[in-house]
Amino acid sequence: MPSNVEIKASVRDHSYLMQRAKELSASDGTDIHQEDTFFKVPRGRLKLRDFLNGSGQLIFYERPDKDGPKLSSYSISPTNDPQGLGRVLSDALGKLGQVKKKRRLYMVGQTRVHIDCVEGLGNFMELEVVMKENQTTEEGVAIAHQLMQDLGVKEEDLIEGAYMDLLLAEAQQNGCK
pLDDT band at 176 (very low <50, low <70, confident <90, very high): low
pLDDT at residue number 174: 81
For residues 89 and 83, what is the distance between their CA atoms, to the nearest angstrom?
A: 10
Phi/psi of residue 124, each to 5°?
-140, 165
pLDDT at residue number 78: 98
Q: Which domains does the chain have, with CATH numbers?
A: 3-173 (2.40.320.10)
78-131 confidence digits (pLDDT tens)? 999 999 999 999 999 999 999 999 999 999 999 999 999 999 999 999 999 999
Residue 97: CB atoms within 10 Å:
16
This prediction's pTM:
0.90
In this model, does residue 177 exceed pLDDT 60? Answer: no
| 3-class SS of residue 52 | coil
What count of residues does the chain have? 177
29-77 confidence digits (pLDDT tens)? 999 999 999 999 999 999 999 999 999 999 999 988 877 888 999 999 9
The torsion defined by the Cα of 60, 89, 177 and 160, in degrees rounded to 10, comes to 0
